[in-house]
Structure 1
Amino acid sequence: MHLPPADRTTSPYTGFTRAHWEAAADSLLTAVEPYASEDRALYHLPGDRASWSGRLSDGLEGYARTLLLAAFRRDEKALERYATGLAAGVSGVWPRIEDRSQPLVEAASIALALRLTRDLLWDRLDEGVRQRTAAWLADALSAEPWPCNWELFPVTVGGFLAEIGHEPDASREAIDRGLERIEQWYAGDGWYTDGDGRKYDYYNGWAMHLYPVLHAWLESDERLLDLYGDRLSRHLCDYSRLFGGDGAPMHQGRSLTYRFATTAPLWLGALTGRTPLHPGETRRLASGALKYFLDRGAVDDRGLLSLGWHGPDESVLQGYSGPASPYWASKGFLGLLLPPDHEVWTAPEEPGPAERADAVTPLGPPNWLLQSTRSDGVVRLHNHGSEDVRYDPYYTRLAYSTVTTPSDSCDNSVFVGGDPSRTGIEPLGTGDGWTASRHTAAGGARVSSVVLARGATEVRAHLVAGAQPGTAVRVTGWTAPDGVRAELLPAVGLDDDLTGVTTGDTTLFVALARLTAEADPVPLPETVAVTASGEGEFTVRWSVGPEVRVRLDGTGVNVD
């Protein structure tokens, strides 16, 4: 990908300006063109993998997600090509939108793109094409979505159809129904779960906030914008902390192949004026993420986004991931809707949270603890409240970071009887420098866990209850890449190989952990000391900071 020279005056951290974003968008749009069908209704991107929806749906996905990029870019020549494809697609090429079908997802991208570019695309279409397009989209108004962020796809389609006067009553009903349904998943402080349960991840930003806020903004509905915009602003206080000093987003959750779609809520806050971030901080975080992926091979030698994280990587994919799925990264170009003279483009870059100071930040609704260190820019997420409906290494590990990926060896886990399973995660609270949870382990044993953090150091404690005496217990820590140091030392109940055995109804195991990119850190044992003082009780003495007493039992945790 050919980009302009770095601008270190306006952008001292990344060198990226609006011109870099425009060049990246143009390059991505150019690269997909050879893979368009003759009628331009489908984009069949190369690769052996197909999603579980099939080739036709995957081709529609390629059209819809790259159309969204063209809409944010407001590229008239590109939009002319997509207009040709639209006319063919709604004339019998595209599959119908049915209950819980992938075309419902893509209909939302198409509707949003059409709404954003009415003057450049929709208003220039023949009346017959407009009627067929509206009729195709209208199936989304009654199609049943999966009970998660999918509820917002009929909202997005309904917003466009209501605006053009097509089935206005049904459109309004779909909007009201979808917005009402997501209320049951709003957990407070700017956080949603992605459906029932405790599925906290990037879907908060690129779906649960994106669609309602954009809808309210496009409607000029101040009541809705106050509601959803204020939630977004609160979310961004936490969300901005999920980016490392190198620009990397946190490596946690599903659909990570969307990559710099993680920047969408940052731009959305600036676009709608609902953000706590300074303009230069917004651009630094967003440009940092784009640069992070472009520098690490996210775009292949054909100019295409691969299915993966840096380059191709099967481990971050789901069954619904098809060749064009990565192009939901298009959402990251939302900032191009801001005019070139907007302060988010003109203000000098400012450091992000991970670059300003060491911080240990509790996040209430997901029951997470974020731990960042300025010296190396690493951000660590201690997960004591998020899980998927099934065991998933991207949800159920004890910790994630901006410089590591979940390993096949089950890093950041507690093995009870040789099994690392962690299900039924129950939050036990989070506070100043700590977070805790309880979960079900192998054989029905219950494990109460607490982590305390200061600087780059962690104290991890696990109280195992309900296991037979003599049951083997092993704890694991970080698996670090080159250039990063991972440490795990026994403190209570563990041998040097980080294993121990249960000795009664409850047994306490404590380890010291650290993940750091510092070249020569202070030895880990010199940063903290731990002494057990009773069943489930221990004291933490930091080398710098207050002494902390902790009590874990079968019902909760007390930290003082």
Structure 2
Amino acid sequence: MPPEDRTLSPYTGYTRAHWEAVADSLLAAVAPYATEDGALYHLPGTHTSWSGRLSDGLEGYARTLLLAAFRRDEKVLERYADGLAAGTAGVWPRIEHRSQPLVEAASIALALRLTRPLLWDRLDDGVRQRAAAWLGDALTAEAWPCNWELFPVTVGGFLQEIGHEPEASRAAIDRGLERIEQWYVGDGWYTDGEGRKFDYYNGWAMHLYPVLHAWLADDADLLELYGGRLDAHLGDYARLFGGDGAPMLQGRSLTYRFATTAPLWLGALTGSTPLSPGETRRLSSGALRYFLDRGAVDDRGLLTLGWHGPDEALLQDYSGPASPYWASKAFLGLLLPPDHEAWTAREEPGPADRGDAVTPVGPPNWLLQSTGSDGLVRLHNHGSEDVRYDPYYTRLAYSTTTEPSPSYDNSVIVGDDASRTDIEPLGVGEGWAASRHTVTEGIRVTSLVVARGAVEVRAHLVAGAAAGTPVRVTGWRPGEGVRSELLSMHGLLDSTGVTEEEATLFVTLARLTADPDPLPLTELVSVKVEGAYEVGVSWASGESARFRFSTSDARSSESSWSVTPL
């Protein structure tokens, strides 16, 4: 690595030279794992994806080719040209409906489009014909109804550019872009398919592919549409990074690690960002350095399956040895010329560097809480869930420093059940967010969080449970260098469960902080429960807020409780 430059980059020390060095190192490290013909990259590891070893080898080729395309190293691209010739001669599996090769075809097509003069235009005509034919199956392959709809769009954009099946290519582009419209919910946010799946796929998929397609096609109208959405999204997205560079530990596919920086660079590349050049690089370099400093790359120079180092708790059934190399998307910033402001401007503070803030995010119904003293960011989740149970979607809160625990941190446990499904957002506002969810049939929990500084007031109303049903409320999982606190204020003082056969309110104070000697929670906030279902919050600063839990029939387990700020 080059020497740090703390004048240009006072927060991270990283410059463009560091990004180039990391890209070169990653590309050099995977080279020994290529097959003799270069068509497959069989990276070491015991965790094989659901699609099998052959598909995993293709994944290794495609995702590292994408890195080579952003790096634009002609010598490295030559070995990928050899692999393309061999792969399309019968080595690679065909692209079929809902198959993993459809994902990898998008990376290959994007790489070929980005490096056309350096790679595609230098290939023999026969290789070009075979490659176009192999990619062409993506135009009619059925995608899973999620971000996969954009893979035929990405392939179609390249094939249309080279004149291969232009009508089918156009149809694939139009079809994919039309399908994602049903998942755009406004203010720069998409769900990743039906339901309320909000996570990093917004940035590294739902925004990345349409914006890059519009930019590469030089389509001003499309870029205005999709670039405008990206611009709106980045205002919220930038708040998901901690002061130490850590992205938020929420959602799936977290092993892609610094792929989280791709939309930041994309905004700078296309002029679709509210962030200054110095802030863009500070956030991006901060995330890259965060992972490199914590063991994301092993002693062979390979990205591991995990977060810091290897960690199977984060993996999905589609994760294979080469999956982490979707982190290649982070190097999109290398498409910016060295004299671009994003590389030459002095780093500027990111949101987590600028002091305490509590920010409502409407579409996912999230409340983001950051503290400038320790750079921690917390995400209060009152509107995102996966169709499957997933601890990285279903907990009440996440942070940039703690991982969800198997013992149900940030949960409400009724009886022995800690499930949180059918999450319904009930609103988000200045300093608060609320939702309701199902624990088990007939039992619903309505939750409210009110936050200020590092302090959280959490209120949970349990409805539909029989009298005497035990209730347990959990807080933050302790992490390295941080302390977790949870203090009962109402409902758990004299009882451990439901007190009557209607609805019971439980209120706690919570805090996650790196402050070694914080003031006691009760000196910072006081809570008063009036009647059965009204919560008053008074901060030491003198500000206060009141909220009412209400329903048409408190005695009915089918009642739909709501939360209203007063």
Q: Which residue of 1 aligns with 2:547?
A: 550
2: CA distance, partners of 1:323 / 1:340 = 33
1: CA distance, partners of 2:549 / 2:434 = 9
The list of structure 1 runs, each at least 4 consecutive aligned residues, that deviate by more than 4 angstroms after superposition, is none
Task: Please state whether the residue corresponding to 2:267 is helix, strand or coil.
Answer: helix
Q: Where do residues 497-512 of structure 1 align in structure 2 (5 Å cutoff)?
A: 499-512=496-509
1: CA distance, partners of 2:455 / 2:465 = 29
1: CA distance, partners of 2:400 / 2:480 = 14
Q: Which residue of 1 aligns with 2:243?
A: 245
Instruction: Give the conservation status (yes or no) of the 8 Å contact 1:464–1:502.
Output: no
2: CA distance, partners of 1:499 / 1:54 = 49
The partner residue of 1:46 within 44, 58, 69 is 44
* Code of the aligned partner of 2:174: D
Q: Which residue of 2 aligns with 1:280?
A: 278
Give the drift of 1:213: 0.1
Q: Which residue of 2 aligns with 1:518?
A: 515
2: CA distance, partners of 1:519 / 1:415 = 30
Give the drift of 1:173: 0.2
Instruction: Give the conservation status (yes or no) of the 8 Å contact 1:251–1:400.
Output: yes
1: CA distance, partners of 2:309 / 2:315 = 12
- After superposition, the C-alpha distances for 1:202-247 in whole angstroms (9 at most, x for unaligned) are 0000000000000000001000000000000000000000000000
- After superposition, the C-alpha distances for 1:262-288 in whole angstroms (9 at most, x for unaligned) are 000000000000100000000000000
The partner residue of 1:462 within 450, 457, 460 is 460
The partner residue of 1:199 within 197, 200, 203 is 197
Q: Which residue of 1 aligns with 2:368?
A: 370
Q: Which residue of 2 aligns with 1:419?
A: 417
Q: Which residue of 2 aligns with 1:208?
A: 206
2: CA distance, partners of 1:111 / 1:332 = 17
Q: Where do residues 80-95 of structure 1 align in structure 2 (5 Å cutoff)?
A: 80-95=78-93
- After superposition, the C-alpha distances for 1:483-526 in whole angstroms (9 at most, x for unaligned) are 10100000010139x94333230110000000001121111111
Instruction: Give the conservation status (yes or no) of the 8 Å contact 2:245–2:286.
Output: yes
**2:345 corresponds to 1:347:** yes
Q: Which residue of 1 aligns with 2:185?
A: 187
2: CA distance, partners of 1:299 / 1:544 = 46
Give the drift of 1:546: 1.6
2: CA distance, partners of 1:499 / 1:258 = 41
Task: Please state whether the residue corresponding to 1:501 is helix, strand or coil.
Answer: coil
1: CA distance, partners of 2:220 / 2:8 = 33
1: CA distance, partners of 2:217 / 2:109 = 14
Q: Where do residues 33-432 of structure 1 align in structure 2 (5 Å cutoff)?
A: 33-432=31-430
- After superposition, the C-alpha distances for 1:518-543 in whole angstroms (9 at most, x for unaligned) are 12111111111111101211111111
2: CA distance, partners of 1:18 / 1:513 = 41
Instruction: Give the conservation status (yes or no) of the 8 Å contact 2:374–2:515.
Output: yes
- After superposition, the C-alpha distances for 1:300-343 in whole angstroms (9 at most, x for unaligned) are 00000000000000011000000000000000000000000000
**Bigger Cα displacement from structure 2, 40-49 vs 529-538:** 529-538
Instruction: Give the conservation status (yes or no) of the 8 Å contact 1:417–1:442.
Output: no
2: CA distance, partners of 1:279 / 1:390 = 38
1: CA distance, partners of 2:477 / 2:541 = 27
2: CA distance, partners of 1:383 / 1:478 = 13
2: CA distance, partners of 1:483 / 1:167 = 57
1: CA distance, partners of 2:66 / 2:410 = 38
- After superposition, the C-alpha distances for 1:35-64 in whole angstroms (9 at most, x for unaligned) are 000000000000111100000000000000
* Code of the aligned partner of 1:559: P
Q: Which residue of 1 aligns with 2:557?
A: none
Instruction: Give the conservation status (yes or no) of the 8 Å contact 1:492–1:509.
Output: yes
* Code of the aligned partner of 1:328: W
Instruction: Give the conservation status (yes or no) of the 8 Å contact 2:449–2:458.
Output: yes
- After superposition, the C-alpha distances for 1:282-303 in whole angstroms (9 at most, x for unaligned) are 0000000000000000000000
Give the drift of 1:443: 4.1
Instruction: Give the conservation status (yes or no) of the 8 Å contact 1:472–1:502.
Output: no
Instruction: Give the conservation status (yes or no) of the 8 Å contact 2:466–2:498.
Output: no
* Code of the aligned partner of 2:12: T
Instruction: Give the conservation status (yes or no) of the 8 Å contact 1:473–1:502.
Output: no
1: CA distance, partners of 2:533 / 2:98 = 47
The partner residue of 1:531 within 508, 515, 528 is 528
Relative distance call for 1:26 and 1:99 in structure 2 (3 A) is same
Task: Please state whether the residue corresponding to 1:354 is helix, strand or coil.
Answer: helix
2: CA distance, partners of 1:536 / 1:189 = 33
Return the TM-score normalized by structure 1: 0.99
* Code of the aligned partner of 1:19: A
Task: Please state whether the residue corresponding to 1:244 is helix, strand or coil.
Answer: coil
2: CA distance, partners of 1:20 / 1:559 = 49
Give the drift of 1:545: 4.2
Cα RMSD for the two superposed structures: 0.9
**Bigger Cα displacement from structure 2, 418-427 vs 200-209:** 418-427
Task: Please state whether the residue corresponding to 1:478 is helix, strand or coil.
Answer: coil
Percent identical: 78
Task: Please state whether the residue corresponding to 1:66 is helix, strand or coil.
Answer: helix
Relative distance call for 1:487 and 1:135 in structure 2 (3 A) is same
1: CA distance, partners of 2:443 / 2:322 = 43
2: CA distance, partners of 1:54 / 1:160 = 27
